[in-house]
Structure 1
Amino acid sequence: MSNYIIGVTGGVASGKSTVTRHFELLGVEVADADLAAREAVMAGSEGLAEVVRAFGREVLSDDGGLDRAAMRQRVFVDAAARAQLEAIIHPRVRARLQALCAAADGPYAIAAIPLLAEGGGRAAYPWLDRVLVVDVPVAVQHERLMRRDGVDAALAGAMIAAQATREQRLAVADDVIVNDGPLETLGPHVGALDRRYRALAAGGLL
């Protein structure tokens, strides 16, 4: 059982997944908000039934699951619809992440929450002991997104603008990894944080 929980967040193309993989290599269990969100609206779930009640059966795919592409298009242009969908999914995601982290082996666990700042920050996740932000300059984020997803500059900019700002994410941070260099530099940074988190979980000082 893990009694110490670290939230990891960062903007799109910041390298969050790479950072959490490094923690996993050190034996730390990671609960992923994206996976929890999929579980929250999986076929046959109460979450999906609530989505259908809110948006109609046209949000279902032929196999009875959520038509994610259609749902994304709908909420991307309609802030009220997006807020309605988030009100259905986010509480379920938070509860699932907390349960997974509490049940994890090891002195601490990680909750990977890409939209932590957008989803209410620390107030929405009072059970997080610390928040680690994977930070990257917007220009680097923009270039990585274009290269990774094969999108043009305008779409990359829109994707970044749809999220919290860099400053908003840093405002919720206890710890920061600036991931603007070669990937091989991440290992030592994660290793240092792992040692700090193990000490904190054991009741040690910073």
Structure 2
Amino acid sequence: MLRIGLTGGIGSGKSTVAALLVERGARLVDADRLAREVVAPGTPGLAAVVEAFGDGVLGPDGGLDRPALAAVVFADPEQRARLDAVVHPLVRARAAELVAAAPEGAVVVQDVPLLVETGQAGSFDVVLVVQADLEVRLTRLVERGMTREDAQARIRGQATDEQRAAVADVVLVNDGTRDELADQVAAFWAQRVAGRV
């Protein structure tokens, strides 16, 4: 098995890179999707979040009100650390189950937005970082419906490009078109993956 840790700041294009790797046969373990799964209605994870932050983080349907929770945790590093202490162990446990279930010889890509922040770089055979210029990222996030201020707050809450580059085996720069990014992914696959599986 080849384990690839994929990371990059919000708006950098990680999801596009993940999709391109899946097209080449990789299995994807998406930490963001798992983070939603472990706090779904009726889960112990949701109960723990409510215990930590109160009923104000619940929506009318009994599910997690993500914007309400984000307003609390992105404004206060201590509250964010509190949330991370609840959610991260659950996500890691679920990710480990999915990796263990992958067939022998698989290429497993773990999309981990906070790979650097959570100290997981050493857990992978290859760390692949996607970077994009700050203004490009802000434009993408605003186009997705986020305010510029919210986008800047999210970016400030993550590792810097320099911190991610320091743990990277390979850096893909995604300031251009999807085709240009696809070419970089193809080169990465040929150079770092094809000969190892």
TM-score, length basis structure 1: 0.85
Q: Which residue number in structure 1 is paired with residue 118 of structure 2? A: 119
Q: SS of the residue aligned with 1:171?
A: helix
**Corresponding residue to 1:96 among 94, 97, 104:** 94
1:32-181 equivalent positions in 2, closer than 5 A: 32-105=30-103, 107-122=106-121, 126-149=122-145, 151-152=147-148, 154-181=149-176
Matched position secondary structure for 1:199: coil
TM-score (norm 2): 0.89
| 1:113 Cα offset (Å) | 0.8
Read off the aligned partner of 1:72 and give its amino acid letter. A
Contact persistence 1:98–1:127 (CA under 8 A)? no
Unaligned runs of 5+ in 2: none
Equivalent residues of 2:129, 2:171 under 8 A apart: yes
Cα deviation for residue 150 of structure 1 reads: 5.8
- Residue 33 of structure 1 deviates from its aligned partner by 0.7
| Residue deviations 1:6-30 (CA, integer Å, cap 9, x gap) | 0101111111111111111112111
CA contact (8 A) 1:31 1:112 kept: yes
Residue 189 of structure 1 corresponds to 184
Q: Between 35-44 and 159-168, report the one with greater CA deviation.
A: 159-168
Report deviation, 1:155: 4.2
Q: Which amino acid in the other structure matches residue 57 of structure 1? A: D
Q: Which runs of 4+ in 1 moved over 4 A?
A: none
**Offset at residue 134 of structure 1 (A):** 0.4
Change (3 A) 1:65 1:151: closer
RMSD value, Cα: 1.9
Measure the CA separation in 2 of the matches of 1:58 and 1:135: 35
Q: Percent identity?
A: 47
1:145-199 superposed Cα distances (whole Å, 9 cap, x missing partner)? 33443634x4443332222111111112111111112211122221222232232
The DSSP-based 3-state class of the residue aligned with 2:25 is coil
CA separation in 2, counterparts of 1:37 and 1:80?
19
Q: Which runs of 5+ in 1 are unaligned?
A: none
